[in-house]
């Protein structure tokens, strides 16, 4: 039986952090065994907000090295960069022509980002969900692992696939969201009501995958808790509950076990312990990263192979699409 296909992507913006690892990369690694996986770094999405070209270029290498350091194996999965496969932009155009502006007006992320980037509400930001649909549909992905904030975009990808299929004829696999079994949400350290984000302006809100031990200690020490004292998971106490969640995921201890372990102890002891737990957890990844990031030739080779693999699959879909909409095949 042929393996089902997975596609997922991350934008090269901000710093990959522990929430990305727990929420995405770790499950990407697992999925490699069971699925045919395509993992794309979406640099074309990143330029919908202003980027410093030098930083963007460096960050793309950093992120690819972190994908691999996390355990994504280029022998098993296609690891590639979106702008290396021009079919993404080409399919996005065709899909733009079957997307209604009404659909894009409803996108909550566009509305949020417009408020944040009031001076640069560009057309790319507006049609971003269509480019994302192209990323997915090009590869005929069956499943797309995405966080809650991307569900609406995935819904659009499904609608566009169905619309194209019924306007022309069966062309695209209609993708489904892939919800990981343990769906813990890691929240911001300083504002635990909001999700931990790699693009947060306040770097104290997240633990970056490449943070040094002393930085990790300082960030955890500063993490917001409350005036209570018990180390206990409680929906009304988002700060400590978030720290307990992180502790529980890393140590694989239940909330009850953690509560017992810290019965007569205070926040300080818990936080000190949590910091060390995180430091140990990230150590192998950080060591792998250093080795991989320094080997530029290896990274170039991975990207070249990834690009070739992606290109083959993407071109097949794109030429079908071009044929169906009535474009003459060039000779
Ligand atoms: N929009 C996604 C995000 O910001 C990133 C993304 C782009 C993506 N293309 C994708 C995710 C395709 C999954 C599949 O998180």
Mutate to test the pocket of ligand 1, among 23, 31, 45 (most ligand atoms within 8 A of CB): 45
Average pLDDT of 144-151? Answer: 91
- Residues 160, 17 share a domain: yes
In the residue annotation, 195 being an active-site residue is answered as yes
Query: Which range, of 20-29, 134-143, 293-302, averages the lowest pLDDT?
Result: 20-29
Residue 189 is assigned to a structural domain of this protein: no
pTM: 0.95
Q: What is the pLDDT of residue 182?
A: 60
- Residues 33, 151 share a domain: yes
Pairwise pLDDT comparison (95 vs 181), residue with the higher score: 95
Would you say the CB of residue 23 lies under 6 angstroms from ligand 1?
A: no
**Cβ atoms of 61 and 16 closer than 8 Å:** no
Please give, one letter per residue, the 3-state secondary structure of the chain: CCCCEEEEEECCCCCCEHHHHHHHHHHHHHHHHHCEEEEEECHHHHCCCCCCHHHHHHHHHHHHHHHHHCCCCCCCCEEEEHHHCCHHHHHHHHHHCCCCHHHHHCCHHHHHHHHHCCCCCCHHHHHHHHHHHHHHHHCCCCEEECCHHHHHHHHHHHHHHHHHHHHCCCCCCCCEEECCCCCCCCECCCCCCCECCCCCCCHHHCCECCCCHHHHHHHHHHCCCCCCCCCCCCCCCHHHHHHHHHHHHHHCCCHHHHHHHCCCCCHHHHHHHHHHHHHHHHHHHHHHHHHHHCCHHHHHHHHHHHHHHHHHHHHHHHHHHHHHHCCCCCC
- Residues 102, 85 share a domain: yes
Q: Residue 126 is part of a domain; what is its CATH number?
A: 3.40.50.620
- Residues 75, 214 share a domain: no
Residue 192 is assigned to a structural domain of this protein: no
For residue 173, name the pLDDT band (cuts at 50, 70, 90): very high
- Residues 259, 115 share a domain: no
Looking at 198, 219, 271, 307, which residue is catalytic?
198
pLDDT at 85 over 90: yes
- Residues 175, 79 share a domain: yes
- Residues 228, 112 share a domain: no
- Residues 277, 143 share a domain: no
For residue 184, name the pLDDT band (cuts at 50, 70, 90): confident
Pairwise pLDDT comparison (140 vs 179), residue with the higher score: 140
Residue 191 is assigned to a structural domain of this protein: no
- pLDDT tens, 295-324? 999 999 999 999 999 999 999 999 999 999
- Residues 248, 121 share a domain: no
Mutate to test the pocket of ligand 1, among 5, 6, 7, 8 (most ligand atoms within 8 A of CB): 8
pLDDT at 50 over 70: yes
CA of 88 to the centre of ligand 1 (A): 13
User: Using alpha carbons only, what angle is made at residue 88 by residues 196 and 32, rounded to the nearest 5 degrees?
Assistant: 60
Q: Residue 268 is part of a domain; what is its CATH number?
A: 1.10.240.10
pLDDT at 181 over 70: no
Would you say the CB of residue 78 lies under 6 angstroms from ligand 1?
A: no
- Residues 309, 213 share a domain: no
Residue 173 is assigned to a structural domain of this protein: yes
Q: How many domains does the chain have?
A: 2
- Residues 174, 79 share a domain: yes
Would you say the CB of residue 157 lies under 6 angstroms from ligand 1?
A: no
Residue 226 is assigned to a structural domain of this protein: yes
Range of the domain at 59: 5-179+296-325
For residue 140, name the pLDDT band (cuts at 50, 70, 90): very high
Mean pLDDT for all residues in the chain: 96
Query: Which range, of 56-60, 109-113, 279-283, averages the lowest pLDDT?
Result: 109-113
């Amino acid at each position: 039986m042929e393996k089902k296909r997975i596609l997922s992507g991350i934008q090269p913006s901000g710093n990959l952090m522990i929430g990305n690892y727990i929420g995405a990369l770790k499950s990407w690694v697992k999925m490699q065994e069971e699925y045919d996986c395509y993992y794309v770094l979406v640099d074309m999405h990143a330029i919908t907000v202003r980027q410093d070209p030098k930083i963007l270029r460096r960050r793309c290498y950093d992120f690819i090295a972190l994908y691999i350091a996390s355990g994504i194996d280029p022998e098993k999965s296609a690891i590639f960069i979106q702008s290396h496969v021009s079919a993404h932009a080409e399919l996005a155009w065709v899909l733009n022509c079957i997307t209604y502006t009404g659909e894009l007006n409803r996108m909550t992320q566009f509305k949020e980002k417009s408020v944040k980037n009031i001076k640069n509400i560009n057309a790319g930001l507006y049609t971003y969900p269509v480019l994302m649909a192209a990323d997915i549909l090009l590869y005929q992905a069956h499943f797309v692992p995405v966080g809650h904030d991307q569900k609406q975009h995935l819904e659009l990808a499904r609608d566009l696939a169905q619309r194209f299929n019924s306007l022309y004829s069966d062309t695209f696999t209609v993708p489904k969201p892939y919800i990981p079994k343990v769906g813990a949400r890691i929240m911001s350290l300083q504002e635990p009501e909001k999700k931990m984000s790699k693009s947060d302006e306040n770097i104290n809100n997240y633990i970056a995958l490449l943070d040094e031990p002393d930085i990790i200690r300082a960030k955890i020490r500063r993490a917001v808790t409350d005036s209570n004292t018990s180390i206990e998971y409680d929906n009304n106490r988002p700060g400590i509950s978030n720290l307990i969640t992180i502790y529980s995921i890393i140590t694989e201890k239940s909330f009850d076990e953690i509560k017992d372990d810290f019965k007569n102890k205070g926040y300080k002891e818990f936080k000190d312990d949590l910091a060390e737990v995180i430091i140990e957890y990230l150590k192998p990844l950080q060591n792998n990263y250093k080795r991989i990031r320094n080997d530029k030739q290896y990274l170039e080779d991975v990207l070249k192979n990834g690009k070739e693999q992606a290109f083959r699959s993407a071109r097949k879909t794109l030429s079908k699409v071009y044929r169906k909409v009535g474009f003459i095949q060039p000779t």
